[in-house]
Amino acid sequence: MSDTTVLIVGAGPTGLTLACELARLGVAFRIVEAAPGPQPGSRGKGIQPRSLEVFDDLGIADQVIAHGRMGMPITAHLPDGTERRTEADAFTGRPDIPYGASLITPEWRVEEALRGLLRRSGGQVGFGTALESFTQSGTGVTAVVRGEAGPETIRADWLVGADGGHSVVRKGSGAAFDGETLDEVRMIVADVDVDGLDRDSWHTWRSDEGIVVLCPLPSTDVFQFQASIAPGQDPALTLENMQAILERRSGSTGIRLREPEWRTLWRANIRLVDHYREGRVLLAGDAAHIHSPAGGQGMNTGIQDSHNLGWKLAAVANGADEALLDTYEDERRPVAEGVLALSNARLRETLEKKAIPIRGNADTMQLTVGYRGSSLVADDRGAAADDVGSAPGDAASAPGDAASAPDGVLRAGDRAPDATGLETLAGTRRLFELTAGGRFTLLAFGPVDDAGLPGIERLRILRIVDRPERDGDVTDTSGALAAAYSAGPRTLVLVRPDGYVGCVSDAGDVGAVRRVLAACGVAV
């Protein structure tokens, strides 16, 4: 029998992100995956700006971006033979938003980057190791997994199911997975080589029978092929059927597909788990919520589940009250509800108009996701516009709006915005460079009583001063930092490890900061 703190089942983007979070925070874990090796195929392909900020925090954003394309335009080939090219929505010239557009890159590239980070952190995925069963008690989980060497018993304090829509962990936990399967809504998805089509944009066609899409996958030679399949239409995953669908719906025989490298038939299975935690078992990603691919939300929501859960598991592993883990569901389940509503609306639009919705905004980019009303946040900026956590769809936003704050005023629980042009003793920095690393950061725009925050592990204090003279001093040369945080002469802002504002005190209340830190499991 082997022992570990956290056993992660599933090594897709969700499980890998969690493993990387735990590795950098020094938490013992194992991650196992039933598949014999890395999963082939593009599956998901859209990385939203908020997820790029997560990867920035982990130190792999540049690698992921290098294998993708930001803001890929869409060329709609219309039934009358004309074309309409639409440029991707983007936030440009915004110091508070470092990644202003969605990134197109195959999912396997994301997993590749995360596995590389995991290896550099001393971890590895146990491929070909399937979870067979588990039991839990008040103190831990005992799991039986089977690999090439046969069965193995693993004793862990916590079990996290990141094993997808058919999650063995979720089924074993007894959690209900409410929702519906729309058998009549299906789509062929495949990775194919294509002759006779440029790779400058994402191509779409529509006809009376449905839509067909060819999206070039950067850093590869292939396109992702997608074709809606209505009841009565042939769902065969053969090259001949895909070619026939393309020719009928595009009206052209000049584009030729080659034998697919990977293919699948997707069915609309839209569900949300009733609880993210069952005792010592937690669920994340597709194991907790599955969406339509419309809007590119599913993979991103799973990545951000893990970014929320990782620091909380680390705090509990280091002695914090395990009730902290209840806030994982409190904060993330409303987000999943909002994401489901958004992706469902986009799916209906696709089916009704036989065209892919191409208009994006801060909601689809997940820049408005936040936790207002959470028990882990507090501020003294007056009554909030609403008293609940925000989620995609709560506020109508478009490029140019205050993406960090749904109602235009930054509050505790909102995404912490970036800022550029910050002078430190080490040179010019972005704020995200200074807040990275899985720790809490206190932005002190006025005097701060260090005696009120003595020796708090994992807390860095950044003092906003006229001229940097010591480590932790920051000069806001352009005023971008003060503007992003609506800061006054006494403002204190606590930024959580997951990049959300935990506390805002315009009155300079160190006690409020300490209370939020304590609620987050930090010894103060």
Q: Three-class SS string for 210-225?
A: EEEEEEECCCCCCEEE
CB 341 within 8 A of CB 299: no
Residue 382 exposed, middle or buried by CB count within 10 Å (0-12, 13-18, 19+): exposed
The span from the CA of 228 to the CA of 211, in Å, is: 6
Distance CA 338, CA 369 (A): 9
Write the DSSP string, 349-381. HHHHHTS------TTTTT-S---TT-TT-EE-S
68 in Cβ contact with 218 (< 8 Å): yes
Q: C-alpha distances in angstroms, 212 versus 238, 244, 354, 427, 470?
A: 15, 11, 9, 50, 59
Q: What is the pLDDT of residue 347?
A: 66
358-373 b/e with 16+ CB inside 10 Å = b?
eebbbbbbbbbbbbbb
Q: Between 107-120 and 13-24, two packed helices, what is the crossing angle to 10 degrees?
A: 20
* Eight-state DSSP code of residue 106: -
Residue type, position 66, single letter: A
Residues 6+ apart with CB under 8 A from 247: 253
* CA 365 to chain CA centroid, nearest Å: 10
Give, in words, the CATH class of 2-69+99-178+269-353. alpha beta
The reported pLDDT for the residue numbered 339 is: 85
Structure tokens given for 488:
């006054």
Average pLDDT over the chain, rounded to an integer: 90
SS3 assignment, position 397: coil
User: Of 310, 51, 293, which is closest to residue 162 (Cα–Cα)?
Assistant: 310
Tokens coding 285? 């990603």
Spatial distance between the Cα atoms of 343 and 346, rounded to a whole number of angstroms: 5
pLDDT at 499: 97
d(CA 289, CA 305): 11
Residue whose C-alpha is closest to residue 330's, from 281, 362, 372 = 372
User: What's the pLDDT score for residue 366?
Assistant: 84
Rounded CA-CA distance 280/141 in Å is 7
CB contact at 8 A, 485 and 359:
no
Residue with tokens 């191509």: 203
The answer to whether the CB of 394 falls within 8 A of the CB of 445 is no
Task: Please give the chain's pLDDT, 524 residues, in tens.
Answer: 569 999 999 999 999 999 999 999 999 999 999 999 999 888 889 999 999 999 999 999 999 999 999 999 999 999 888 999 988 777 888 999 999 999 999 999 999 999 999 999 999 999 999 999 999 999 999 999 999 999 999 999 999 999 999 999 999 999 999 888 777 788 999 999 999 999 999 999 999 899 999 999 999 999 999 999 999 999 999 999 999 999 999 998 899 999 999 999 988 788 999 999 999 999 999 999 987 666 567 899 999 999 999 999 999 999 999 999 999 999 999 999 888 887 767 666 666 665 555 555 777 788 989 999 999 999 999 644 333 233 333 333 333 334 445 557 899 999 999 999 999 999 999 999 999 999 999 999 998 877 678 778 789 999 999 999 999 999 999 999 999 999 999 999 999 999 999 999 999 999 999 999 999 999 88
First to last CA, the chain: 36
pTM of the model: 0.92
User: What pLDDT score was predicted for residue 182?
Assistant: 77
- Per DSSP, the three-state class of 451 is helix
Contacts of 94 by beta carbon, 8 Å cutoff, 6+ apart: 100, 403
d(C-alpha 175, C-alpha 178), whole Å? 9
CA-atom Rg of the chain in angstroms:
24
The pLDDT score that the predictor gives to residue 42 is 87
Residue 518: HSE in the Cβ half-sphere, 13 Å Cα cutoff: 8
Distance separating alpha carbons of residues 156 and 4, to the nearest angstrom? 5
| Alpha helices (H) along 354-436 | 431-435
As a whole number of angstroms, the distance between CA 267 and CA 305 comes to 24
Q: 243-268: string of b/e by CB count within 10 Å (b at 16+)? A: bebbbebbeeeebebeebebbeebeb
CB 56 within 8 A of CB 436: yes
pLDDT recorded at residue 395 = 34
162 and 14 in contact (C-beta within 8 Å)? yes
User: Are 490 and 446 contacting, i.e. CB atoms less than 8 angstroms apart?
Assistant: yes
Token pair recorded at residue 199: 């790779």
Confidence at residue 402, expressed as pLDDT on a 0 to 100 scale: 40
Assigned CATH class of 416-519: alpha beta
Domain locations in the chain as residue ranges: 2-69+99-178+269-353, 416-519
